[in-house]
Amino acid sequence: MDRYVVESPHSKEECLKALDEMLAEGPSILNKFDWGCTVGDHTGYAIIDADNETEAKRLVPSFIRSKARIVKVGKFTPEQIRSFH
């Protein structure tokens, strides 16, 4: 499994629909996300483990999925960083 950052932007007008769709998927999906909506950044943010980008993207409500940004991420060890020099 790989690790992904999921960003799910939506407009102020789409906000409640996006939240309702996330809630309909169940509390476990809703709890994966942190939201910037209350400070005017209408985006959901999550760091998740998934088999691939497509699986990660499925967490985003279908009507805003095309706007989602999915980034595969990982960590570096001290040895890896030293080897870059």
Per-residue model confidence (pLDDT) at position 48: 97
* pLDDT per residue as tens, the chain (85 positions): 999 999 999 999 999 999 999 999 999 999 999 999 999 999 999 999 999 999 999 999 999 999 999 999 999 999 999 999 9
Strands annotated E in 10-57: 34-35, 43-50
The class level of CATH for 2-83 reads alpha beta
DSSP 84: T
DSSP 82: H
**In the chain, where are the structural domains located?**
2-83
Per-residue model confidence (pLDDT) at position 46: 98
Q: Burial-class residue 82 by CB neighbours within 10 Å (0-12, 13-18, 19+).
A: exposed
Place of tokens 């967490």: 59
Per-residue model confidence (pLDDT) at position 39: 98
